[in-house]
Amino acid sequence: MKLYTYDPAPNPMRLNLFLKYKGIELDTQQVDLGTLEQHGDEYGAINPARTVPALVLDGGELLTEVIGQCVYLEAMNPDKPLMGDTALEKAEVISWDHKIFLQGMAAIADIFRNGHPAFKDRAMPGPLKLPQIPELCERGKLRLAAFWPMIDEQLGKHPWIAGENFSFADIDLYCLVQFAGWIKEGIPEDCSNTQTWYERAKTELGDA
């Protein structure tokens, strides 16, 4: 297998923390998003979607979505499970991860990519040129403001976001907090459950 990634970016961070937690080492090549290397012909031939991370399997199959990469790697490396053990746990992890990505990560991405001048005509990742829409910044802020209380309520019921065990959903929420810093946002002060969870997540990930 070979992993094409760019460590500073949010999506690669999600996979990198998954790999680190499970102790998986992969042949890795950095693709410099800062110089737009992902849009060059060489990387485009590997991953036409021109996104990172991209995982090329030993048989030549290409996995371009982090959740798919993690499901595959979990199946190949079942120790220290992050995707749940029972059928219900698996469903809860995927469900909460989906909420985190769509309601939180996507909101931050809208704010960042539609408001930063460096993303002119690149409001979405990939080869398609899309203009920035400033109104999406304001909508993203509203979505993010609604996201935090939902997360805080769940963390008031369980120690981890998908239940009693640390999971990939917690990794994604941790990465979301880091990504929020890119737009100068953080966990609201009144979300005390999430604040407490964040300190435990840092310890769990060895980032204390």
Structure confidence by residue, pLDDT tens digits, 48-75: 999 999 999 999 999 999 999 999 999 9
How far lies 60's CA from each of 18, 25, 47, 56, in Å?
22, 18, 12, 6
How far lies 98's CA from each of 64, 142, 173, 204, 208, in Å?
16, 19, 11, 22, 26
CATH 3.40.30.10 boundaries in the chain: 2-76
Give the mean model confidence (pLDDT) for residues 160-176.
98
**pLDDT (tens digit per residue) in 17-54:** 999 999 999 999 999 999 999 999 999 999 999 999 99
- The answer to whether residue 207 scores a pLDDT higher than 70 is no
At residue 66, the pLDDT reads 97
Mean pLDDT of the chain: 95
Rounded Cα gap, residues 206 and 169, in angstroms? 17
CATH of domain 87-204: 1.20.1050.10
Is residue 123 helix, strand or coil?
A: coil
Cis link prior to 53 (omega < 30° from 0)? yes
- The answer to whether residue 141 scores a pLDDT higher than 70 is yes
- The answer to whether residue 208 scores a pLDDT higher than 60 is no
At residue 24, the pLDDT reads 97
Rounded Cα gap, residues 100 and 163, in angstroms? 15
Of the chain, the percentage scoring pLDDT greater than 70 comes to 99
Of the chain, the percentage scoring pLDDT greater than 90 comes to 90
Amino acid identity of 94?
I
CATH 1.20.1050.10 boundaries in the chain: 87-204
CB 171, CB 200: distance < 8 Å: no
- The answer to whether residue 107 scores a pLDDT higher than 50 is yes
| Pairing label, strands 54-56, 27-30 | unpaired
The CATH class of 2-76 is alpha beta
Distance of CA 182 to the CA centre of its chain: 14
Is residue 40 helix, strand or coil?
A: coil
Enter the pTM of the model. 0.94
At residue 53, the pLDDT reads 98
